[in-house]
Structure 1
Amino acid sequence: MTIAELYAKLANKDFQDYNTAKLFWPVYMYGYDPKDEYKIRQEILDIRDRLHRPNTYLNVLTLDVFEEFLAFLDASSFGKKNKLEFYLENESSKPDKVHQALLKDANDAKFQEWIHKRISNHLEASEKFEVAYVFLYGWGAIFPYLRTSKFLNNFEKNVGKYKLIVFYPGKVKPRYNLFGLVNDENLYRATTLINE
């Protein structure tokens, strides 16, 4: 599925209903060639803006999971500093400890709740608009701290009243393969929007 075909699918009124999800879990994976990362990021914003135009009038939330992680760390107290400051100050002197701490924080239920709250706040603030989609990207930047499959398995309980479109820099068939190099666990319930 090309980006143009993806836009046509997302603009389709029947597809926008989150109740039409395969197996009633409205999560979709769009795999793309990692070398197209910056082009895809621009396409994500373009699709969001096109869906917001008067003919479709959807309020699409776009979240860069890596930028959200940085904001989460910046908002997390750690003594007199926040975690982001602390990790940046200590990454060169204690790289292994900082790496382990980042792994723990990225996979913590508190970070899941941070993302869920961002989505919930957007939905509440957008009552007069129809919100059909949340676009989630930035998986290449947050690697190796967070795997897409692990995040989605843990986030499953939060997805509802919107379709989550995950933009994945790698292959999604026959199994998830980040950057075409790192194998990951597949999610049997996520629907694939592109065939490699």
Structure 2
Amino acid sequence: MLDDVFEILADPGFQKPGSALMSFPAYVYVYPPDQEYEFREALPRLQKRLRRTNVGQNPLIENIYSALLTHLEEKTLGGRPLLDRILEQEDRAPEKVDRQLRRHAQSDAFIERVASEFTRFTEEESELNRSYVFVHGWGAIHPYLRSSTFLDLMEPHLRGYKLIVFYPGTYKDGKFRLFGRLASGQVYRASCLNERIAS
């Protein structure tokens, strides 16, 4: 799995951050939702293959759901992690918890935290190039943050690297569907990497 992704990401022409099809350097790679566990095993292998000397890339892998949990653990309210407070309310006020999680997942503070992490990583001195950031975990973070919303919010921050969103779903007639069922409802400015691979 992800052998086709390796071929395109290893291409020196594609590695240049300025070589995106549009001015928005983001791509979505769709994979079958029933292959989620295969995907989770394949992603670190893809990273390792790209680190080989003949390719020379060191991509960052970000699980967006884990990033949100870390963000909520680091934010405090009354000296306690915000995540603890949210979890305490889960049984007695699930709708309130749902609203809180959506608000924090789509907040400027969270997006800026993630964007800063990406920028720090890609700008660090390294023997290997850092042209790619891989983002996954969309099934876990749904419905608090959709990938289309994330890409919209990331737009002002995307410079100097290519963002590759790994998406468990389908792509047809210009529309992405999470798990092959839930239509995005938004137009993605990101390109479908599968189409580029197939061409």
1:184: which partner in 2? 184
SS at match of 2:150: helix
C-alpha contact (below 8 Å) 2:122/2:160 kept by paired residues: no
**Partner residue, 2:52:** 53
Letter in 2 for 1:184: S
Per-residue CA distance 1:28-78 (angstroms, 9 max, x = gap):
110011111111121111111111111112111000000000001011111
2:140 maps to 141
Q: What residue is the counterpart of 1:81 in the other structure?
A: 80
Partners of 1:24 and 1:128 in 2: CA distance: 27
Q: Could you tell me which runs of 5 or more consecutive residues in structure 2 were left unpaired when the two chains were aligned.
A: none
Structure 1 alignment gaps of length 5 or more: none
The TM-score, its normalising length taken from structure 1, stands at 0.94
TM-score, structure 2 as length reference: 0.93
Q: CA RMSD in A?
A: 1.6
Q: Aligned-pair distance for 1:186?
A: 4.3
**Percent identity at matched positions?**
34
Across the two proteins, how many residue pairs are aligned to each other?
195
Would the alpha carbon gap of residues 88 and 188 (structure 1) be closer, same or farther in structure 2, given more than 3 Å must change? closer
> Contact 2:122–2:131 (CA<8 Å) still a contact in 1?
no
8 Å CA contact 1:18–1:26 kept in 2: the answer is yes
Give the whole-Å Cα distance in 2 for the aligned partners of 1:188 and 1:112.
Answer: 18
Equivalent residues in 2 for 1:12-161, closer than 5 Å: 12-161=11-160
User: 1:166 matched to which residue of 2?
Assistant: 165
In 2: Cα distance, 1:135 partner to 1:103 partner: 22
Q: Give 1:85 shift.
A: 0.8
- Cα distance in 2, alignment partners of residues 152 and 171 from structure 1: 17
1:154 shift after superposition: 1.1
Q: Distance in 2 between matches of 1:83 and 1:31?
A: 33
Letter in 1 for 2:118: I
The answer (yes or no) to whether the contact 1:29–1:172 under 8 Å persists in 2 is no
